[in-house]
Amino acid sequence: MIPWWVLAIAVFGANFTLWGLIGLLRVLDGWRGTARERMVPRRTKVADLQAHREKKAQPGRHRLRRATGLKLTDVAVLIAAHNEELVIAESLRAITRLVPLKQVHVVSDGSTDRTVELARRAGVNVISTDDNVGKAGALQVGIRRFRLVRRFRLVMLLDADTRVEPGYFRAALPLFDDPDVVAVAGCVRTEWRDRSLSFAGRVVAFHRQRIYSMTQYLLKFGQTWRHVNATHIVPGFASVYRTDVLPNIEVNPPGLVIEDFNMTFEVYQKRLGKVGFTPSAVAATQDPGTLRDYVRQSKRWSLGLWQTVRRHPPRLNLFTAMLTLLLVELLTSGIMLVLLPLVLLVLLVPELVGGVLTVPWFAGTYEAVSGYLTVPALLLGIVLPDLLLTVVVAIIQRQPRFLFYAWLFLPMRVLDSAIALAALPLAWWSRSTGRWSSPRRHRVEPPGEQPGLGAGAQAG
């Protein structure tokens, strides 16, 4: 008989436990570092930083005497957009409140709607591709044609449906004071407050926010500690890269459906540097508003992960070890969750239907399943921990309404697991072109404002 606590560990995950503990060490290290900095004269700190930079500038490790103390004037913003007329105006309004217009660049990837018109009306730099070449292809075109590597020290890769919040750069730019940090992952927040969402859209939004909260606080925060740095993704919705590493990263390799997993893998496997992350660098994104769009997007993300794993052979380093742990857990917990409805059905049917155990084939199945699992073990080991996670997220987000949708989150996890497992063989059987079509968007248009009239526009 499998104990309930074994199920809880398998479903909750060794990754959450490991990186959550490392995240606590990072918090303690941050407190100690803050106290130490208050005691060290500024001149000594500058000398120590210079010595650190020189030590890390070793041949064969792509180390450069990288600039620190970077400012907004060092940042280029690059947006790849395909038919995003419903959301791009508000996204540009948000980013141009923070960054001058001349530093914002839009690549319309074969758009057939008003995306180009709205971007030009906002006053930013705009180019178009003749065909739909995919997000990675559009980013590659933008980096080259806008000459971003030569003109800027940093580039923010921003999705067209993402609104960057005011404190993003204030939190993100100081992370580049560490010369080893070559990319900073943004902290995502979903737009669950959108009143136009249907019930299914709200379920998706709350489910995604729960995932974002757990993965960012219990995984990514620990994974990006300076002493043990090995996160599996710098998400492409709103993240910043040093431009000096972009020539060493294959932004648009053939056969991949998405680019952000691959770019992250290349940072670690080519030893380009580390990834930074802070929960204070927040940007809000719009998740799919229908279950069908959610399945399509989740399939695309899962396929992108498996394709990237296939493309990058394992190496003897921390990144590969931690990625292996993540993938093993993804497979084991995924199989367990996919089988959960069937197992529950087998265990509950005899309680509801009398005489069913006299059916030979069902009796054999019931005996095999009940020999390892019981309904109380499943409730204590899977259902209850999942509910507790929802309670924790509701407290972190200070939103009791998460509890209203709590009964739907476990079925959504089952769906996620089925999608991830189904995408695994496709990584070997199919080859992606990278072309994309965005999920159906919800129009975002605050009253009384026009695109491009923010502080950034005035600064430009």
Dihedral pair phi/psi, residue 233, rounded to 5°: -155, 135
**Residue in 293, 78, 243, 102 with CA at minimum distance from that of residue 164:** 78
Matching residue, tokens 């129009």: 443
DSSP 127: E
Matching residue, tokens 């992606």: 432
Q: Report the C-alpha gap between 228 and 75 in whole angstroms.
A: 27
Digits of tens for pLDDT over the chain (460 positions)? Answer: 777 767 777 776 788 888 989 999 999 988 876 655 555 554 444 444 444 444 444 444 444 567 788 999 999 999 999 999 999 999 999 999 999 999 999 999 999 999 999 999 999 999 999 888 999 999 999 999 999 999 999 999 999 999 999 999 999 999 999 999 999 999 999 876 666 788 998 999 999 999 999 899 989 999 999 999 999 999 999 999 999 999 999 999 988 999 999 999 999 999 999 999 999 999 999 888 899 999 999 999 999 999 999 999 999 999 999 999 999 999 998 999 999 999 999 999 988 887 888 888 888 998 899 888 899 999 888 899 899 889 988 998 888 989 999 999 999 999 999 999 999 999 988 777 777 666 666 665 553 443 333 434 333 3
Contact call for residues 297 and 206 (beta carbons, < 8 A): no
**Residue in 410, 392, 412, 411 with CA at minimum distance from that of residue 402:** 392
Instruction: Pull the structure tokens for residue 223.
Output: 């994974």
- pLDDT of amino acid 452: 39
DSSP 138: H
Residue 385 to residues 140, 344, 348, 418, 432: CA-CA distances in angstroms? 43, 17, 21, 20, 37
Compute the C-alpha angle 428/429/430, nearest 5°. 100
Q: Report the C-alpha gap between 108 and 128 in whole angstroms.
A: 5
**DSSP 3-state assignment of 352?**
helix
Q: Report the C-alpha gap between 354 and 337 in whole angstroms.
A: 27
The CA-to-CA distance between both ends of the chain, in Å, stands at 67
How are strands ordered across the β-sheet holding 104-109? 125-129, 104-109, 75-81, 154-159, 238-242, 181-190, 274-285, 163-164
Q: Report the C-alpha gap between 109 and 183 in whole angstroms.
A: 24
Q: Report the C-alpha gap between 248 and 238 in whole angstroms.
A: 20
| Measured torsion, CA atoms of residues 405, 410, 412, 413, in degrees rounded to the nearest 10 | 140
pTM over 0.75: yes
Q: Which residues contact 166 (CB under 8 A, 6 or more apart)?
A: 97, 98
- pLDDT of amino acid 56: 47
**Residue in 192, 212, 214 with CA at minimum distance from that of residue 202:** 192
- pLDDT of amino acid 61: 45
Q: Report the C-alpha gap between 395 and 67 in whole angstroms.
A: 39
In the chain the domains, ranked by start, together with CATH numbers, are 4-14+325-429 (no CATH), 66-317 (3.90.550.10)
**Residue in 285, 284, 267 with CA at minimum distance from that of residue 231:** 267
